[in-house]
């Protein structure tokens, strides 16, 4: 246990915990938000052009992260940054994308959003396609506006997909390694380290494998708590949905689906 007590006393460890939480939560929220918006846009495109857009928007997710991070590294390059060149056109001074702690955090989160948003988009698009059109027609007959249709039809129908996608993405984002490793290598002054990169730095580069293992193990309880809450919520909703179906079936004089008499 001495490795754990040693870690708990280190200021860097708590900084890594904080940075990992900020990194994962911010990235997942924005990925979900962008994925949701883009999925709606793509869903509303006529079927003929939809495949082309779907393919184009999936590009970031298809390219190996090591390669796309290299492109981002060029875009953020301190000397030849293409972003700084554009900013200079508007009279905005050069931004130290990877040299300043704040901007370095922003950069790694932005890249994570860029890579992960297409996954959310494709999952949400699948969920949107599975919402029965009759529900929208019924809501429209009831006089529901766009916002009410979204709030009372689309979101409840997509809730499970949203929760599962968020959980998967949270796990993957928490354990992210390549983006931080390639873009900032944890710097400046360890400000962008996440669990995986700090664990690698301590265990492999520093040669202290037990300490590195302790850091990576610390992810487990955090992810277990998140997974428990999300999965419990999905199960609870599933049970409530089954209950409603059974009640409706009994009220209609039919055996509830899945019961012995129904078989």
Partner 1 sequence: MLFAIFFLLPPIYMVITSLKTSNEISAATSPWWVYHPTLENYTGLLTSPELSDVLPQLGDWSPCSASR
Residues engaged in binding partner 1 (CB under 8 A): 34, 37-38, 41, 53, 56-57, 59-60, 63, 67-68, 70-72, 74-75, 79-80, 82, 85-86, 114, 117-118
179 phi and psi angles, rounded to 5 deg: -65, -55
Closest to partner 1 by CB, 80 vs 229, is 80
Closest to partner 1 by CB, 13 vs 30, is 30
Closest to partner 1 by CB, 75 vs 131, is 75
CB of 67 to partner 1, least distance (A): 8
Residue 144 structure tokens: 């529901």
Handedness of CA 115, 116, 117, 121 (dihedral sign): positive
CB of 84 to partner 1, least distance (A): 9
150 exposure class (CB count in 10 Å sphere: 0-12, 13-18, 19+): middle
Q: Are the C-beta atoms of residues 195 and 176 closer than 8 Å to each other?
A: no
200 vs 208: CA distance, rounded Å: 10
Q: Are the C-beta atoms of residues 94 and 84 closer than 8 Å to each other?
A: yes
CB of 171 to partner 1, least distance (A): 23
CB of 32 to partner 1, least distance (A): 14
Closest to partner 1 by CB, 23 vs 72, is 72
Closest to partner 1 by CB, 63 vs 230, is 63
160 vs 6: CA distance, rounded Å: 40
CB of 46 to partner 1, least distance (A): 16
């Amino acid at each position: 246990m001495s490795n754990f007590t040693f870690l708990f006393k280190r200021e860097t460890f708590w900084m890594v915990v904080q940075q990992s939480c900020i990194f994962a939560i911010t990235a997942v929220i924005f990925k979900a938000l962008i994925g949701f918006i883009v999925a709606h846009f793509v869903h509303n495109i006529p079927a003929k052009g939809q495949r082309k857009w779907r393919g184009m928007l999936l590009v970031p997710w298809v390219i190996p992260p090591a390669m796309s991070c290299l492109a981002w590294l060029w875009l953020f390059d301190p000397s030849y940054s293409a972003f700084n060149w554009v900013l200079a056109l508007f009279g905005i001074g050069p931004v130290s994308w990877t040299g300043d702690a704040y901007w370095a955090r922003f950069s790694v989160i932005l890249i994570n959003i860029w890579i992960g948003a297409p996954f959310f988009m494709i999952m949400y698009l699948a969920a949107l396609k599975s919402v029965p059109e009759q529900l929208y027609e019924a809501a429209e007959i009831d006089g529901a506006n766009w916002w009410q249709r979204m709030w009372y039809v689309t979101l409840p129908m997509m809730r499970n997909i949203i929760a599962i996608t968020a959980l998967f993405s949270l796990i993957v984002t928490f354990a992210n390694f390549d983006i931080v490793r390639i873009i900032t290598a944890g710097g400046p002054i360890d400000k962008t380290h996440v669990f995986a990169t700090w664990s690698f730095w301590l265990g492999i580069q520093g040669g202290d494998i037990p300490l590195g293992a302790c850091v990576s193990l610390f992810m487990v309880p955090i992810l277990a708590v998140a997974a428990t809450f999300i999965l419990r919520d999905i199960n609870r909703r599933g049970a409530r949905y089954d209950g409603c179906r059974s009640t409706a079936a009994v009220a209609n004089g039919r055996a509830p689906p899945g019961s012995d008499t129904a078989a």
